[in-house]
Amino acid sequence: MPCLIFCLAAQTNPRSCREVITNYYWPSEPFHPRRHFILTTALVFSAMLVSLLTTDLGIVLEITGSTSAVAIAFLLPPLCYMHLTGAGEWRSWAREKKWWGPALCTGFAAALMVISVVQVVVEILTGEKL
């Protein structure tokens, strides 16, 4: 889940990405200018490294779209529903049929994300569109 939150924040706003990282790894610590500088520098240079190593922007857009679109459309809504209705205990799933639909949607989203990322990787390695 932290990876998903990090990816969504990085795509929308780098500043919020830094906030997500800070709040996840150091939730109760006060603001440190040195850590702020290191995180900001790492985010900027990682984005620059990706842009320098990528010759085709279509590949980046395909990977970003295949992960974030699936996460926003199919993964986050059922996970939020399951979290808000208390789907934490696995042994109660057989009795609670209200969680079967969101669980199937989550499984479909995971499979769709894996298939689309594998398809992009195959396109990158072979050099031809599938």
Instruction: List all residues 6 or more positions away from 99 whose beta carbon is below 8 Å from its beta carbon.
Output: 82, 85, 87, 93
Number of domains making up the chain: 2
> In this predicted model, what pLDDT tens digit does every residue of 3-41 receive, in sequence order?
444 454 444 466 677 888 888 888 888 888 999 899 888
69/120 same-domain check: yes
49/87 same-domain check: no
107/44 same-domain check: no
79/48 same-domain check: no
Tell me which of 106 and 58 has the higher pLDDT. Answer: 106
Question: Range of 31's domain?
Answer: 1-53
pLDDT band of residue 100 (cuts 50, 70, 90) is confident
For the entire predicted model, the pTM comes to 0.57
Tell me, what's the pLDDT at 14?
60
59/91 same-domain check: yes
Q: Scanning the structure block, which residue is given the tokens 């669980």?
A: 103
Contacts for 24-31: CB closer than 8 Å, 24+ residues apart: none
Question: If we measure between CA atoms, which residue out of 56, 60, 69 comes closest to residue 113?
Answer: 69
Which amino acid is present at 118? V
43/105 same-domain check: no
Distance from chain centroid for Cα 19: 16
24/66 same-domain check: no
> In this predicted model, what pLDDT tens digit does every residue of 64-93 receive, in sequence order?
888 888 888 888 888 888 778 776 666 566
